[in-house]
Amino acid sequence: MLQTPATPLRFERLLLTGAAGGLGRELRPRLKAYCNSLRLSDINTLQPEQASSGEEIVPCALQDAQAVMKLLEGVSAVVHLGGVSTEQPWEPILAGNIMGVVNLYEAARKHGVGRIVFASSNHVMGFYRQDQVVDAKSPPRPDGFYGLSKAFGEDVAQLYWDRWGIETVSIRIGSSFPEPRDRRMLATWLSYDDLERLVLAALTAPVVGHSIIYGTSDNQASWYDNTHARHIGFRPQDTSDIFRAAVEARQPVIDKHDPAVIYQGGGFVKAAPHG
């Protein structure tokens, strides 16, 4: 196994993939504080002339191995949000989330990138029930092709740590929005500020190997046990509880026979992957 270099608190160049997506747009201004140069990438939706001070924009399709290889030149660490983020037919998931994650790790290996923050998903565990608590050692139970692709990404991260010493924190992101949208999200909600805290902790924790952590705020209701990820040093400071009364007023009744209520994956357990 290769020896990984010391982890800095400020990076020369960070790469943020999926920079035009919802969470990418939120992290874009926040990550600038932690690097001298922020390289932003997405597929077609960002143009180089849109870069502001301290930014570089490099459009890239993750399934294009040569483009990904060029994308990672000179990069110190990666925050990988890129790829498909919803349940879709297999072909786009194969391209963005399967081929794309292999291309990313191969490029990281060849360019000597030592740390990746991988945006995994709670949907890796979507077919656990909402009356169960899971941790990083619970076997995956994906709720669709999307969740399956994120479980594959975690396995890729494990391989590249075991064989080549590339460290990864796989964040099983819950529901990161300005506020919870329904009663399920009272358990899965992750504030934007806590998202920033988690990504920063994942980038700068001294030693992570390949670690899995559930990305949620300090919610009273939770299905996730992060005991095995305490070494990362993430301490959420926000909570969904301040929204509870409003959420329950909007959704006073739930159907306990609905699979979206029974299982942690919510509506993803009913999504038609071939639709």
Give the CATH H-level superfamily of domain 11-269: NAD(P)-binding Rossmann-like Domain (3.40.50.720)
Average pLDDT over every residue of 6-27: 90
**Is 80 exceeded by the pLDDT of residue 94?**
yes
Write out pLDDT tens, residues 72-82.
999 999 999 99
The 3-state secondary structure of the chain, one letter per residue? CCCCCCCCCCEEEEEEECCCCHHHHHHHHHHHHHEEEEEEECCCCCCHHHCCCCEEECCCCCCCHHHHHHHCCCCCEEEECCCCCCCCCHHHHHHHHHHHHHHHHHHHHHHCCCEEEEEEEHHHHCCCECCCCEECCCCCCCCCHHHHHHHHHHHHHHHHHHHHCCEEEEEEECECCCCCCCCCHHHHECCHHHHHHHHHHHHHCCCCCEEEEEECCCCCCCCEECHHHHHHCCCCCCCHHHHHHHHHHHCCCCCCCCHHHHECCHHHHCCCCCC
- Over 50: is that where the pLDDT of 269 sits? yes
Query: Is 6 or 155 the better-scoring residue by pLDDT?
Result: 155
Residue of 34, 105, 128, 146 marked active site: 146
Q: Return the pLDDT at 47.
A: 81
Percent of the chain's residues with pLDDT above 90: 91
Domain boundary assignment for the chain: 11-269
Reply yes or no on whether the pLDDT at 106 is more than 90.
yes
- Would you call 192 a catalytic residue per the annotation? no
